[in-house]
Amino acid sequence: MTDRREPPDRSGRPEAGRFDLTGRRAVVTGAAQGLGATLALGLAEAGAAIVAVDRPGAPGLTTLTDRIEAAGGSCRPVGFDLADTEGLAGLADRIWGAAGPVDILVNNAGTARLEHFNQITVAGWRELMRINLDAVFFLSQRIAEQMIAAGIAGRIITVSSKNGLMAEAGLAHYNASKGAVELLTQSLAAELGPHSITANTIAPGMLATPIADDFPLDRPAFDDAWRDRIPLAGGPGSPEDCVGAVLLLASDAGRYITGTHLVVDGGVLADQLPRLRFMPPYRNTVRP
Ligand X SMILES: NC(=O)c1ccc[n+]([C@@H]2O[C@H](COP(=O)([O-])OP(=O)(O)OC[C@H]3O[C@@H](n4cnc5c(N)ncnc54)[C@H](O)[C@@H]3O)[C@@H](O)[C@H]2O)c1
- Residues designated as active site: 174
Among 30, 47, 73, 254, binds ligand X (CB under 6 A): 30
Is residue 58 a contact residue for ligand X (CB under 6 A)?
yes
Count of residues that interact with ligand X, criterion CB under 6 A: 26
The rounded Cα 244 to chain-centroid distance in angstroms is 12
**Cβ 13 to ligand X, closest distance in Å?**
28
- Nearest approach, Cβ of residue 55 and ligand X (Å): 4
Q: Could you give the 3-state DSSP secondary structure of residue 106? A: strand
- Check binding of 241 to ligand X (CB under 6 A): no
The verdict on 102 binding ligand X (CB under 6 A) reads: no
262: left (phi over 0), alpha (psi -120 to 50) or beta: beta
Q: Which of 47, 110, 154, 266 binds ligand X (CB under 6 A)?
A: 110
CA 176, 157, 246, 64 dihedral sign is negative
End-to-end CA distance of the chain: 64
Q: Which stretch binds ligand X (CB under 6 A): 103-111, 187-195, 216-224, 225-233?
A: 103-111
User: 260 phi and psi, to 5 degrees?
Assistant: -135, 180
Q: Does 81 bind ligand X (CB under 6 A)?
A: yes
Residue 136: CB minimum distance to ligand X, A:
9
- Report how far residue 168's alpha carbon sits from residue 162's, in angstroms, rounded to the nearest whole number: 9
Provide, rounded to whole angstroms, the least separation between the CB of residue 180 and ligand X: 12
Q: Which is nearer to ligand X, 109 or 150 (CB)?
A: 109
| Binding status of residue 229 toward ligand X by CB under 6 A | no
Among 42, 44, 47, 54, binds ligand X (CB under 6 A): 54
> Which residues neighbour 3 within 8 Å (Cβ) at sequence distance 6 or greater?
150, 151
Q: Candidates 12-20, 86-94, 104-112, 215-223: pick the segment binding ligand X (CB under 6 A).
A: 104-112
* 192 is a contact residue toward ligand X (CB under 6 A): no
Minimum Å gap between C-beta 229 and ligand X is 14
Q: Is 179 in the site for ligand X (CB under 6 A)?
A: no
**Residue 223 interacts with ligand X (CB under 6 A): yes or no:** no
CB contact at 8 A, 198 and 254: yes
What's the CA gap between 202 and 184, in Å, rounded? 13
Long-range contacts formed by 117-123: CB under 8 A, 24+ apart: 117/172, 120/172, 120/173
Handedness of CA 159, 164, 168, 174 (dihedral sign): positive
Instruction: Catalog residues that contact ligand X under the rule CB under 6 A.
Output: 30, 32-36, 54-55, 58, 81-83, 108-112, 131, 159, 161, 204, 206-207, 209-211
